[in-house]
Structure 1
Amino acid sequence: MVRERAGPRAVRNLDDVRVSELEGPRREGVDSRRLPSYAAGEIDVPFVVLGSDEVIGRDTYWEEHSHPTHELLWNLRGASSATVGPRVWSITPSIGLWIPAGVPHSGWTPAGTWHHAVQFSVREVAPLSERPVSVEITPLLRLLLGRLEEGELPAASRARTEAMVLDLLAPAQGELLLDYPESSLLRPIVETLREDPADTTTLAVWASRLGVSARTITRAFHEETGLGFSRWTAAARVQHAITMLARGDGIDEVAERVGYRSASSFSTAFRRVTGMSPGRFRAG
């Protein structure tokens, strides 16, 4: 979900085959990667900016870890997600994520994603933000980051490229993230949409199943996520859709798989959540 930076809440991105973070590492066909946890600046790195990339061959879960450096995650192809506490950011070719040094996070990267990670020395680079924040990956920034990943550059050329990268880094106007409720009351709703984003169980039916009033469920969603039941469930479905669209699935197919009867109704919901049409998002 795209939220203006002034808003305190924000959209969790879940692939349609994604399971919960606890189940993911143990699921057949899912790679689990374990990385160490460092405090900010715990290791004095010999670089200002260092980028790396990988085409992910299998669905991959990155167990919680932290870096001694600041990190910028972005994708040249596909959509992934990063989790910090109860918040999950979507990462796409146009919206990356800045994670300050020392901040624990985990991640989910579907197979086929062209994944990029850029590390920034805490001694040489001031933090873009004290908390994780989305970054717009412009075409120019993408080219410059790619140049730093290509290999050895003359010292003067590298310094100029690094300076341009740092000059272009800025928080995006909106963020693709969602707060996920953690209470036992709302857990059945959350787990149902994790397993089946096409589920369209109504608020009234959920209230009956859970033995509470619809108002109680609505109030719980507002308290934990800042959104009501309808807006939160719509945003969760759209976040499933983001991953599917980013890997090239057709709009009609995606609409059906996330519970919409027509592409037009899906497009309306997608635009309401992200501020753009599914076609424009996929093209971007």
Structure 2
Amino acid sequence: MSSAKLQTFGAGMAARKVIPQSLDYTDGAREIAHIHHRAQLIYSTSGVVRIMTPDSLWIVTPAHALLIGSQVEHELSMLGDVSLRTLYIDPAALAVPEPRCRPIVAGELLRAALLGLCAASADVAGSRRAALLEPLLLDLLDTATRADEVTRLPLPTEERLRHICSSLIAQAANNETLEQWAENVGASARTIARHFRSETGLSFGEWREQLRMAQAKSWLAVGHAPADIARELGYADARTFAVMFRRASGVTPQQFLERAP
């Protein structure tokens, strides 16, 4: 990621520990790479948000939220129509400032407080409500359960590997072999394979399968049919896709949907 823009909020907002914002996006919308001086909580009441940071690709559903540390570069992509509720938080207001990214469980109280703060009006009653909700939200964030089940795919930093990964994220159905990718970026297959393992902890094949699983779960969550997903991911048919999905996740696509929150 490069050429990130710094987003600020003006002097009028500087005194606030927590700045809430409500944003609605259509399927496929993007926020280009940027950074904030504040930490940011990302939560969607509907749709799926794909968040790319320098070292990770995160897939966040309405069951969870992601707390992004101050100065952490990130870009957002929307899968399905997304109703985003986000907080920009003074890092000093957190008991332990988040240095990177922390996925958290969006429990009922956290969701209610977040939605209430985002909905608070600017009048006297709304300001009074916000003053009550802000310390509650900060306490809930400090004690929130880490959501280790949130999909996180490690991203390499080496320029050639980053090019390969960015290309596959943009077109997950690409079936070029490691040897073909190595030739495309001007390196040997052995070199690319070694760097993939050292930077991500995964082989090239494992990384691509995990990417496809992440894409598949996202598309299932926003209502895409398994047959359409199979085609988008480059599988011969829905049955082949279902076999891959079950091998990688332990459940069928239908069982995944039944278990989703």
Whether the TM-score (by the shorter chain) exceeds 0.5 is yes
Q: Hey, what does 2:75 align to over in structure 1?
A: 106
Deviation at 1:189, TM superposition (A): 4.1
Q: Hey, what does 1:130 align to over in structure 2?
A: 99
Question: Is the CA contact 2:44–2:61 (under 8 Å) kept in the aligned structure 1?
Answer: yes
Question: Is the CA contact 1:148–1:161 (under 8 Å) kept in the aligned structure 2?
Answer: no
Q: Hey, what does 1:150 align to over in structure 2?
A: 119
Equivalent-residue separation in structure 2 for 1:164 and 1:182 (angstroms) = 34
User: Of 181, 184, 202, which aligns to 2:156?
Assistant: 181
Q: Hey, what does 2:123 align to over in structure 1?
A: none
Equivalent-residue separation in structure 1 for 2:40 and 2:223 (angstroms) = 27
Equivalent-residue separation in structure 2 for 1:37 and 1:48 (angstroms) = 14
Deviation at 1:196, TM superposition (A): 2.9
1:221 corresponds to which letter in structure 2?
Answer: F
Equivalent-residue separation in structure 2 for 1:211 and 1:46 (angstroms) = 51
- Matched residue count: 252
2:216 corresponds to which letter in structure 1?
Answer: A
Equivalent-residue separation in structure 2 for 1:182 and 1:240 (angstroms) = 21
DSSP 3-state at the match of 2:81: coil
Cα 1:159/1:256, change in 2 over 3 Å? closer
- TM-score, structure 1 normalization: 0.70
Q: Find out whether 1:198 has 2:167 as its counterpart.
A: no
Question: Is the CA contact 1:71–1:98 (under 8 Å) kept in the aligned structure 2?
Answer: yes
Q: Hey, what does 2:42 align to over in structure 1?
A: 73
Q: Hey, what does 2:147 align to over in structure 1?
A: 172
Cα 1:191/1:44, change in 2 over 3 Å? closer
Equivalent-residue separation in structure 1 for 2:200 and 2:213 (angstroms) = 16
Unmatched 5+ stretches in structure 1: 1-20, 26-32
Question: Is the CA contact 2:70–2:99 (under 8 Å) kept in the aligned structure 1?
Answer: no
Task: Give per-residue Cα distances to partners, 1:166-186, cap 9 Å, x unaligned.
Answer: 365232123422233354554
1:64 corresponds to which letter in structure 2?
Answer: A
Cα 1:180/1:140, change in 2 over 3 Å? same
Question: Is the CA contact 2:56–2:155 (under 8 Å) kept in the aligned structure 1?
Answer: yes
Deviation at 1:213, TM superposition (A): 5.9
Unmatched 5+ stretches in structure 2: 121-125
Aligned pairs for 1:76-95 within 5 A: 76-95=45-64
Q: Hey, what does 1:230 align to over in structure 2?
A: 205
- TM-score, structure 2 normalization: 0.75
Q: Find out whether 1:36 has 2:36 as its counterpart.
A: no
Task: Give 1 or 2: higher helix fraction.
Answer: 2
Task: Give per-residue Cα distances to partners, 1:99-139, cap 9 Å, x unaligned.
Answer: 12233333233562111212233343223632212112234
1:113 corresponds to which letter in structure 2?
Answer: V
Cα 1:48/1:169, change in 2 over 3 Å? farther
DSSP 3-state at the match of 1:98: strand
2:54 corresponds to which letter in structure 1?
Answer: G
Q: Hey, what does 2:220 align to over in structure 1?
A: 245
Deviation at 1:204, TM superposition (A): 5.6
Deviation at 1:82, TM superposition (A): 2.3
Question: Is the CA contact 2:41–2:65 (under 8 Å) kept in the aligned structure 1?
Answer: yes
Question: Is the CA contact 1:50–1:119 (under 8 Å) kept in the aligned structure 2?
Answer: yes
Question: Is the CA contact 2:28–2:79 (under 8 Å) kept in the aligned structure 1?
Answer: yes
Deviation at 1:74, TM superposition (A): 1.5
Higher relative contact order structure (alpha carbons within 8 Å, sequence separation ≥ 6): 1
Task: Give per-residue Cα distances to partners, 1:220-279, cap 9 Å, x unaligned.
Answer: 210222110210111122233243223221122212211223445434544565676544
Equivalent-residue separation in structure 1 for 2:94 and 2:166 (angstroms) = 40
Of residues 43-52 and 193-202 in structure 1, the stretch that sits farther from structure 2 once superposed is 43-52
Deviation at 1:198, TM superposition (A): 1.8
Deviation at 1:98, TM superposition (A): 0.7
User: What RMSD over aligned residues (CA atoms) do the two structures have, in Å?
Assistant: 3.7
Question: Is the CA contact 1:179–1:225 (under 8 Å) kept in the aligned structure 2?
Answer: yes
